């Protein structure tokens, strides 16, 4: 436990300033600065952080770093030593409630912050979860397992395979639903990987994360976890889904198909959107409401197809004007077997790349085109450029999202080296990764959330 030894983590000028006013960590203070007054609790400082700032947790829950050079006076009102520990309460077992397994991989949802070291501590035992989100016990009998404890940029094909296999084992044991706790940044990559590696699941597989950590008043951790757990426990949709904040308020969560979802905003809580389609459904306190009826329904058996393979010699190349052919050549020279291109407009790259694409094709590299517009289909018959690029061996990947095509190509090449078979796998729709058409309301309509849509409809947004 930190916070009891006075000036925890502070060094140099920041420590000197605190000592001058005998303002210890966890003191409730008002700090007069050249930029005005700030009131809050002095937080412990990460030992690795610079020695020139004092950090306050303000009444709003947000932290502010005050440079010692601008501090004119510190007035102490009292001191509160914080308790980091989440109360551990035994997760109750309730006869008759569904059995849900929560598999943790890390990310903000699984963490609380140790202010002193800056370390993120996982909070994932059923006891801790029950202590912090007791509503979960009204929904299900929860079991938890921490598979990984990483921020999601560190989730890659090895973890996708481990996760898919762990899900297979849980389904075989007869759970009623699976929740996967995951960092939000790459949740859509993992959702795509699970959509391919785990097929025909008899139960819902629901990925969930949070954009704001649970020490912040605006955290979405608890609401997302409750929504995801309710979906896993009760939904009839036995799909790989992402369950995250729907509107900007916390009225409901949206359920996105694992292959059609993408993180679209770096900081909004309502950051996940279904692209080129409508979400699968929504979830709130009243339960899950599907928006579609052609989903895989829940079954009573424990059969599932796990095909957890991946060849990581695959790359996703985001085309930009002026890209030089050496980018493609270097991939071929380094033994890459697959390239997904996110091209401009309907699926284009510049002429200087043509020779490099030709060389890649001759070397047996599987190449697929997606669009960097994200919404819409690749259409390579419209312009001469598209037709020429197809002749160089690049296959249009319909309306597959670039990241999804990248994951699918690694998965396909993990199964076979026969490029015709790879093409068959790539172009066979799996869990809506390719759809026949974009519905009229598939372009963000109704995904702003009810308050925004209502304001829009009543003409308040001009």
Please list every residue from 97 through 126 that binds ligand ASP, using CB under 6 A: 107-108
Q: Which of 151, 291, 383, 443 binds ligand ASP (CB under 6 A)?
A: 151
What gap in Å lies between CA 307 and CA 284, rounded to an integer?
Answer: 33
CB of 154 to ligand ASP, least distance (A): 8
**Residue tagged active-site, from 33, 263, 385, 395:** 263
- Closer residue to ligand ASP, CB minimum distance, 66 or 208: 208
- Closer residue to ligand ASP, CB minimum distance, 141 or 184: 184
Please list every residue from 193 through 212 that binds ligand ASP, using CB under 6 A: 209, 211
Nearest to 151 by CA among 122, 126, 191: 122
What gap in Å lies between CA 372 and CA 344, rounded to an integer?
Answer: 6
**Residue tagged active-site, from 185, 250, 311, 433:** 185
CB of 105 to ligand ASP, least distance (A): 9
Nearest to 10 by CA among 77, 78, 72, 65: 65
185 is catalytic: yes
CB of 184 to ligand ASP, least distance (A): 3
Give me 203's structure tokens: 């139960």
Show Cβ contacts of residue 189 under 8 Å, excluding neighbours closer than 6 positions: 155, 160, 403, 406, 407
What gap in Å lies between CA 222 and CA 210, rounded to an integer?
Answer: 8
The DSSP-derived string for 317-365 is: EE--TT--THHHHHHHHTT--EEEEEEBTTTB--GGGHHHHHHHHHTT-
- Closer residue to ligand ASP, CB minimum distance, 227 or 435: 227
Which residue minimizes CB distance to ligand ASP?
183
Q: Binding segment for ligand ASP among 59-67, 177-185, 246-254, 290-298 (CB under 6 A)? A: 177-185
What gap in Å lies between CA 22 and CA 304, rounded to an integer?
Answer: 63
> Are residues 108 and 213 in contact, defined by beta-carbon separation less than 8 angstroms?
yes
Residue appearing with tokens 């309509």: 445
> Are residues 350 and 385 in contact, defined by beta-carbon separation less than 8 angstroms?
no
- Closer residue to ligand ASP, CB minimum distance, 157 or 348: 157
CB of 209 to ligand ASP, least distance (A): 5
CB of 368 to ligand ASP, least distance (A): 26
289 is catalytic: no
Residue appearing with tokens 């300033």: 17
Q: Binding segment for ligand ASP among 138-146, 179-187, 243-251, 440-448 (CB under 6 A)? A: 179-187
For 11, phi then psi, to 5°, come to -140, 170
For residue 303, count other CB atoms closer than 10 A to its CB.
10
CB of 152 to ligand ASP, least distance (A): 3
- Closer residue to ligand ASP, CB minimum distance, 98 or 253: 253
Q: Binding segment for ligand ASP among 126-134, 181-189, 410-418, 435-443 (CB under 6 A)? A: 181-189
214 binds ligand ASP (CB under 6 A): no
271 binds ligand ASP (CB under 6 A): no
Number of residues near ligand ASP (by CB under 6 A): 9
184 is catalytic: yes
What gap in Å lies between CA 308 and CA 158, rounded to an integer?
Answer: 9
27 binds ligand ASP (CB under 6 A): no
> Are residues 192 and 275 in contact, defined by beta-carbon separation less than 8 angstroms?
no
CB of 188 to ligand ASP, least distance (A): 11
108 is catalytic: yes
DSSP conformational letter for 275:
-
Q: Which of 2, 184, 224, 370 binds ligand ASP (CB under 6 A)?
A: 184
For residue 435, count other CB atoms closer than 10 A to its CB.
18
CB of 267 to ligand ASP, least distance (A): 10
**Residue tagged active-site, from 33, 105, 144, 184:** 184
Q: Which of 3, 40, 126, 183 binds ligand ASP (CB under 6 A)?
A: 183
- Closer residue to ligand ASP, CB minimum distance, 170 or 185: 185
> Are residues 438 and 276 in contact, defined by beta-carbon separation less than 8 angstroms?
yes
By DSSP bridging, strand 198-199 and strand 338-343 are unpaired
Please list the active-site residues: 108, 184-185, 263
Residues of this chain that bind ligand ASP (CB under 6 A): 107-108, 151-152, 183-185, 209, 211
């Amino acid at each position: 436990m930190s916070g009891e030894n006075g000036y925890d983590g502070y060094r140099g000028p920041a420590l000197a300033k605190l000592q001058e006013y005998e303002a210890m960590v966890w003191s409730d203070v008002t700090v007069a600065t050249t930029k005005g007054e700030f009131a809050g609790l002095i937080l412990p400082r990460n030992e690795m952080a610079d020695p020139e700032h004092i950090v306050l947790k303000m009444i709003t829950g947000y932290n502010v770093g005050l440079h010692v050079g601008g501090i004119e006076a510190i007035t102490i009102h009292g001191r509160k030593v914080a308790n980091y520990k989440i109360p551990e309460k035994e997760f109750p077992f309730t006869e008759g409630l569904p059995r849900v397994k929560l598999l943790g991989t890390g990310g903000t949802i699984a963490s609380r912050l140790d202010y002193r070291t800056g370390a993120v501590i996982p909070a994932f035992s059923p006891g801790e979860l029950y202590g912090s989100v007791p509503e979960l016990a009204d929904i299900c009998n929860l079991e938890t397992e921490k598979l990984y404890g990483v921020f999601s940029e560190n989730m890659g094909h090895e973890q996708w395979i481990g996760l898919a296999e762990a899900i297979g084992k849980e389904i075989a044991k007869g759970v009623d639903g699976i929740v996967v706790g995951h960092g939000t940044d790459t949740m859509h990559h993992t959702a795509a990987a699970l959509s391919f590696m785990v097929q025909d699941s008899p139960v819902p597989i629901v990925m969930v994360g949070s954009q704001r950590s649970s020490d912040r008043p605006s955290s979405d951790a608890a609401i997302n976890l409750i929504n995801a757990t309710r979906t896993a426990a009760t939904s009839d949709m036995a799909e790989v889904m992402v369950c995250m904040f729907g509107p900007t308020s916390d009225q409901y969560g949206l359920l996105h198909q694992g292959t059609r979802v993408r993180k679209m905003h770096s900081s909004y809580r309502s950051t996940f959107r279904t692209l080129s389609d409508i979400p699968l459904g929504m979830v709130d306190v009243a339960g899950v409401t599907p928006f579609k009826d052609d989903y895989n329904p829940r079954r009573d058996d424990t059969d599932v197809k796990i095909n957890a393979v991946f060849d990581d010699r695959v790359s996703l190349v985001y085309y930009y004007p002026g890209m030089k052919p050496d980018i493609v050549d270097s991939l071929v020279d380094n033994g890459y077997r697959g390239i997904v291109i996110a091209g401009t407009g309907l699926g284009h790259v510049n002429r200087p790349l043509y020779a490099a694409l030709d060389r890649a094709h001759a070397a047996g590299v599987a190449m697929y085109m997606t669009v960097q517009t994200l919404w819409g289909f690749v259409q390579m018959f419209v312009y001469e450029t598209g037709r020429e690029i197809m002749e160089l061996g690049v296959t249009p990947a319909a309306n597959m999202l670039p990241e999804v095509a990248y994951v699918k190509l690694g998965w396909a090449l993990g199964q076979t080296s026969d490029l015709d078979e790879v093409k068959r796998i790539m172009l066979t729709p799996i869990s809506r990764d390719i759809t026949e058409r974009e519905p009229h309301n598939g372009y963000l309509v109704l995904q702003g959330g009810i308050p925004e849509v209502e304001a829009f409809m009543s003409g308040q947004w001009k």
